[in-house]
Amino acid sequence: MHEWALAESVIKTAVEHSKAQKLKKLKETGVLFGELQAIDKEIFVFALEELRAQFPAAKACKFKVSTEPAAFRCKACSHEFPLKGLKKTKDESEFIHFVPEMAHTFLKCPKCKSPDFEIARGRGVSISYIKGEK
């Protein structure tokens, strides 16, 4: 059910943004969906479409959900590197998607080989833009 709660908060946030910009109707909302997000994207998109009817300003809004690729930042040398292209087995990559914290077990900074890095991108769900009518 996490997908539904998240979808609802995305719609609420989009509606708040539209009010702040004095928009009467939302036409389109861009949503960035982090690659490491441990929720089901299809259910999330479905939930957005189902729930928007409850918000007058978002009734006709299209939600364009795009995936934000995951990236890590090395704490030792500040080098930023994407999850894609790093050498890992399929099992490892599925595990990383499920438990991002476990990435440290499998990955090292490609520049300085430090295992000490943080997740720079691809974790959360955020709104990238809104479009609407005044």
Q: Does 76 help bind Zn ion (rule: CB under 5 A)? A: yes
Shorter beta-carbon distance to Zn ion: residue 33 or 81: 81
Q: Does 74 help bind Zn ion (rule: CB under 5 A)? A: yes
Short-list 99, 36, 32, CA closest to 72: 36
Could you tell me the two tokens for 100?
């991002």
Please, what is the angle between helix 2-20 and helix 41-51, to 10°?
50
Q: Does 111 help bind Zn ion (rule: CB under 5 A)? A: yes
Cα four-point dihedral sign 21, 25, 27, 30:
positive
Q: Does 62 help bind Zn ion (rule: CB under 5 A)? A: no
The residue to which tokens 């990955």 are assigned: 107
Per rule CB under 5 A, count of chain residues that contact Zn ion: 8
Q: Does 79 help bind Zn ion (rule: CB under 5 A)? A: yes
Q: Does 109 help bind Zn ion (rule: CB under 5 A)? A: yes
Could you tell me the two tokens for 22?
């004095």
Instruction: Kindly state the helix (H) or strand (E) to which residue 50 belongs, with its residue range.
Output: helix 41-51
Shorter beta-carbon distance to Zn ion: residue 12 or 79: 79
Could you tell me which stretch among 55-63, 71-79, 96-104, 126-134 binds Zn ion (CB under 5 A)? 71-79
Q: List interacting residues with Zn ion (CB under 5 A).
A: 74, 76-77, 79, 109, 111-112, 114
